Amino acid sequence: MVIERGGCQLTREAARSLLCAMPPSYLPTHTQPPGHVLVPAATIGALSLVLAVGLYVIGILNHLNEGITNILSEGKDLPKSLPPWTLWLAAILCAFGISFSILSVAGIWRRMILWITTMVLVMGWGPVLALAARKPEIAVVVIAVGWSGVCALVYASRHHMACDEIRKPFFDETR
């Protein structure tokens, strides 16, 4: 059988021997598009904050905060609360931090453990704030971290990240 491409003719056996003669570094090893870290992580963090701001504007975060407060305070009134800027600063740092971290770590299981650990730590702020007699208004941080982590996990699973490359050892162990 003869293969014709661009005016050139090549038999199937010649094409097969040509492919076998190529070094493995020239052959594609993955079918996913290459992934990046900086721009996608910044975009994911920014969009998760846009989601948190949108939920705050329409009042859903207030209802979530009231529900969290009622559960953790067991009906008692907690007079103090954190300044709103500290919650938003924590949301900004955590949203960008988790997206950069997830996209910079190799392996899907490591990424999932990183995201789950961050979510547990953020949700752990609620009981700590309730013990300190402050209202646990942590919904903005939970929403920002949760959405940022999910989006970063989806992006990393659909792209071939540079940190997932198989690295050759620095020294040759066969000698």
Task: Say which amino acid occupies 14.
Answer: A
Distances 36 to 50, 68, 92, 97, 102 between C-alpha atoms, Å: 22, 37, 21, 15, 12
Chunked into runs of 10 residues, the chain (175 residues) has average pLDDT values of 59 61 53 78 96 95 90 82 92 96 90 95 91 89 96 88 67 57
pLDDT at 77: 80
Please tell me the distance from the alpha carbon of residue 39 to that of residue 62, in angstroms, as a whole number.
31
pLDDT at 27: 47
Say how many residues make up the chain: 175
Burial of 60 (0-12, 13-18, 19+ CB in 10 A): middle
Q: Can you read off the two tokens belonging to residue 56?
A: 């705050």
Helices 84-104 and 139-158 sit at what angle, rounded to 10 degrees? 20
